[in-house]
Amino acid sequence: MKKFIFTILLLFSFETKSIDTKAEQAVVIDFDTNEVLFEKNSNQRVIPASMTKIMTIYVAFDRIKNSNFNINNKCRISAKAYKMGGSRTFLEIDDQVTVDDLLKGIIVQSGNDASIALAECLGGTEEDFAKLMNVYAKKLGLKNTNFINSSGWPEDNHYSSVYDLAILSNSLIKEFSELYTYFAMDEFTYNDISQPNRNKLLKQVEGTDGLKTGFTKKSGWGIAATAIRDKRRITVVINGTNSSRSRLNESSNLINWAFNQTSQKIIVNKDQIIKEVDVWLGVNPRVNLISSDKIISTLSFDQLQLMNSSIEYTKPIAAPIIKGKEYGKLIINIDGKPQIILPIVASEDIAKVNPFIKLIEAAKYLLFGTSLNEN
């Protein structure tokens, strides 16, 4: 018996289009498969600016979902929150403001005052809340992230990466789908002051329903954005563009590219027949080797043009055959992606032949390459 390798060449023909971006850091992720479709300096540490507020909201959503804390609770506005500079919700000192209003102030208006007020309400102090943010960051596996405050106000040792922010964004959407609808609000009025959502993609790019913009002079303009079309969601995070217009253009280009030039493909279905193979001394002469799982991958049309698949197994496979047991591997090579190795398993049980005809069966196979059981 010997190891047998069966090679398949899969060919597709599509029009292709490459993508690049003027952003200094960027990442494009398929929400369902978690595959990175495009990246540029995605793990580089950057100043996250107001994209920090995604974590502030994540912590709040988790508390709302998993404790008695709710959106109707009221939080007192401290002097620190009231005096905070930058973008504001225009909260008044000592007012009692609902969590609902603070969430809207943070998400829609990017209010630094609302961020501090919510952080103090949940953590006692903003400093202690920032420690809690880092606990969540570690839990989510964010390897290039450290928070010092809840608003994204520039401070030493306050950093993240566009990849970490994408993972955070997707986790928020997956875990808090009902609360996530806050991010699609067009505007919010508080204290008789109406402010539009700073995420202009909401009105200009099909399917956009979140998340958060950010800007500092040192970091440039950035955005964590996500859109859904035909039940498929794409998440894009960029940073380091040189203007709000460039931020809009670069993020929308990446979103549209992902939807137009990549697609989710079922490469292999679960229980799909991969190959029929010979059985050594079995009551049945052949058995189907089938895939043990379903493989879905998000591919660019470039990647779809050429995929190499090979099957490795020992020929013939000796009986008894056990249904569901691994008897080989399907190996799929896709340019730019890690090699996929999928176990292939027997589709049915096959017992050994009767001992009295075992020698005749073996001789028949060795002489003619066929089984007595074959027609």
Catalytic residues, by residue number, are 50, 53, 110
| Cα–Cα distance for residue pair 291/326, rounded to 1 Å | 10
**Which two structure tokens, joined as six digits, stand for 146?**
């450290």
Distance separating alpha carbons of residues 328 and 344, to the nearest angstrom: 5
Residues in the chain: 375
- CA distances in angstroms from 297 to 142, 312, 317, listed in the order given: 23, 22, 31
> Tokens 């608003």 identify what position?
151
In whole angstroms, give the CA distance from residue 56 to residue 320. 58
Residue 16: name the closest of 346, 302, 312 by CA. 302
